Structure 1
Amino acid sequence: LHLRGDNGECRVRDLVPFVHQVGGHTGMMKYDEATVCKPVFPAELHFYEMLTPELAKFTPAFKGVVHVFVQEEDDGSLSVRAYPIRSQHQTSTGPMYPSNGQVWVQTRQKKMTGKVPSCHSNKGQVLRSIETLPEFILLENLTSKFRSPCILDVKLGTKTYHKDHSEAKRQLHIDRDAATTTATLGLRLCGMQASKGSYKCRNKYDGRRLGKDGLRSALREYFSTSDEVRMELLPPFIEKLEALLQ
């Protein structure tokens, strides 16, 4: 991750919303073609920092952490700037911008646009996230090599609450789990986009409404072309899940 050039200047990046986000509680942004960034909770950051090589092959590469804040400019536009905290790997390089050593990443609100699948729009979510979670984690962009990436977000396990949740939030999760495929199948659809010429999308609310048959139908839809399931895609997924289980 290049924080400075040889002449001591800081590199500038335009951050834009990550248009292929299908799930999650906070908005993601694209740092460059190979890197996305998202607000990070301490527990999640600890997970990536302590990740063993055996588990790292199942996750996007961890590239570091930046501190992000929103600032209004003289012309009324909003800039998103980031101070480097620590880094792991190098990302692609960018244009140079004279700096006092503080400003690293910058974007204008007017640039927070892009061709977004019809069911996704996280611009407001990104700005709200920055207010409450100013630390952003840099992760490998797994969609960068695909023209029309198909993405599936599934929540695994038969319980989704955390030991640190309040009693009210814990009960909310227990009730939600009991009413969805989390209890019956041990997994629940949280988001999906599948390219069929145009994007077919489902969100977490769709996933909560799905029963066993509905979830099977959604998975069939994800692994299908317009008229048939692509059976050749299934073995690699199954093999990777079995390897993770071991």
Structure 2
Amino acid sequence: MASHALDPSSLVTFGSAAAGHDGVLSDSSGTLVIKPCTPAEIAFYESANTSHPDLAAYMPLYMGTLQLSAPDAAAASTASTGDEVGTAASLALSDPGPLKGKKLDTGVSIVLENVAAGFRKPNIMDIKLGARLYDDSTKPEKRARLDKVAAETTSSSLGFRIAGMRTWLGGEDSMAERDGDDTISFEAGSGYKLFNKLYGRKFAAENVVDAFREYVLVPSAGVSKVQAANCVQRFIRDLKDLQQIFEKIESRMYSASILLVYEGDPDAYAAATKAETEYSAQEEMQEDDEEEEEEAPPKIAVVKLIDFAHASWTPGQGPDENLLQGVRSTIRIMEELAAELGTS
């Protein structure tokens, strides 16, 4: 694997997150995400890559860590691959906005692949998993607050809630203001419609499929039912694979999220599906040639598991049913949507 030299002075605010904490950065190319993290999250990424490769395949690619707070600190630590990730630097991170989580102030950031990189117009949904959203170390007052949020949202009934979304509308001409709705905004100049963390709290178990429908069907951008159906089926396939993985491992992942991303530009989607077919054909022809490296096909739809600040391995305690409830419910909602689209 090639090394990745990273100049901290070139880092910019990461603007493609559907939800999460403030203080997340990106490199100038947009291929990496640099996120403040805790030692526990770093340890979880490293152990997953070492001992649970099937789960790691559904996590963003871990590149190492970067020290951002101390000007005279030593060079950043790296993943077990030995790749060079970057050097230490002092950066002033922006204050958290009113609808984002508080910025973590650990001084260390984890360096990950940007899951949305490789899409021309990535449409993103962040699904917060679990009816219980805190680990055993959480203070009583925070437990009470999170339990209240869960009780008032689909977190309690379904084991998940939508934490945020971004959908590309196809151009600024499509961006009509919606008066009186503080859960939706429009990103100037990008053509994106943004759904903040309050958006997902409006839904109940009976109507949350409406949010999924708004996510996968974007008529103003030209996203057809055929495209939506294809992406939904890919989501279902990967979510079922994740379910099987979680039913075999023993862990607890409080407040982890599933990130769904699909290509929101119909022209890019059509090109990607064509390239995928050609890639598969070439792969079959060259399957015996291990020397030759092939470029990955363009992305169509991906499922990733993110946010492991409160994740740990728990041998002897069985599967994480708190998390699994959310995964199973998401599959069920997706299958309902697939049936509606005529693809079940």
Write out per-residue CA displacement over residues 71-107 of structure 1, whole angstroms, 9 at most, x where no aligned residue.
7xxxxxxxxx9753311254799xxxxxxxxx64577
TM-score with structure 1 length normalisation? 0.74
CA contact (8 A) 2:24 2:33 kept: yes
Correspondence for 1:68: 68
2:204 partner letter: G
- Which structure 2 segments of 5+ residues have no match? 171-190, 245-344
Residue 129 of structure 1 is matched in structure 2 by 103
Per-residue deviation, residues 32-91 of structure 1 (Å, max 9, x unmatched): 4321100002221121011021111101100001111277xxxxxxxxx97533112547
**Residue of structure 2 equivalent to 1:172:** 145
For residues 82 and 209 of structure 1, do their structure 2 counterparts lie closer, same or farther at Cα, with a shift above 3 Å needed? Answer: farther
CA displacement 1:118-139 (0-9 Å, x = unmatched)? xxxx83239x837x22110000
Matched residue SS, 1:163: coil
Q: Quick check: 2:70–2:88 contact (8 Å CA) kept in 1? A: no
| AA at the equivalent of 1:129 | K
Give the partner amino acid of 2:212: L
Aligned match of 1:14: 10
What is the deviation of 1:211?
A: 2.0
Alignment pair present for 1:207 and 2:210: no
Instruction: Return closer, same or farther for 1:14/1:137 CA change in 2, 3 Å cut-off.
Output: same
Rounded to whole Å, the distance in 2 between the matches of 1:218 and 1:232 is 18
Higher helix fraction (1 or 2) = 2
Q: CA deviation at 1:158?
A: 2.1
Show the counterpart of 2:301: none
Relative to structure 1, is the Cα distance of residues 138 and 150 closer, same or farther in structure 2, using a 3 angstrom cutoff?
Answer: same
CA–CA distance in 1 between the matches of 2:40 and 2:168?
Answer: 33
Q: Report the 3-state secondary structure (helix = DSSP H, G, I; strand = E; otherwise coil) of the residue aligned with 2:208.
A: helix
Structure 2: how far apart are the matches of 1:171 and 1:42? 25
The structure 1 residue matched to 2:76, chosen from 80, 85, 92, is 85
> 2:34 — aligned with what?
37
User: Share of identical aligned residues, percent?
Assistant: 29
8 Å contact from structure 2 (residues 25, 33) kept in 1 = yes
1:162 Cα deviation from its structure 2 partner: 1.4
Q: In the alignment, what sits opposite 1:25?
A: 21
Given the alignment, which residue of 240, 243, 246 partners 1:242?
240
- TM superposition shift of 1:209: 2.3
Shift of 1:245: 0.7
Match of residue 186, structure 1, among 156, 159, 163: 159
- Counterpart for residue 46 of structure 2: 49
1:179-199 residue CA offsets vs partner (Å, 9 max, x unmatched): 100111211000110111121
Count of matched residue positions in the alignment of Structure 1 and Structure 2: 207
Which structure dedicates a bigger proportion of its chain to strand?
A: 1
Q: Alignment RMSD, CA only?
A: 2.8
Q: Alignment partner of 1:129: what SS?
A: coil
> Distance between the aligned counterparts of 1:188 and 1:195, measured in 2?
21
Q: Does 2:218 match 1:225?
A: yes
Q: Is contact 2:23–2:94 with CA below 8 Å preserved after alignment?
A: yes
Give the 5 Å matches for 1:90-129: 90=83, 104=88, 123-125=94-96, 129=103
Task: Report deviation, 1:2.
Answer: 4.7
Which consecutive residues of structure 1, in runs of 5 or more, have no partner in the other structure?
4-9, 72-80, 94-102, 110-121
The alpha-carbon distance between structure 1 residues 82 and 194, as it changes in their structure 2 partners (threshold 3 A), is: farther
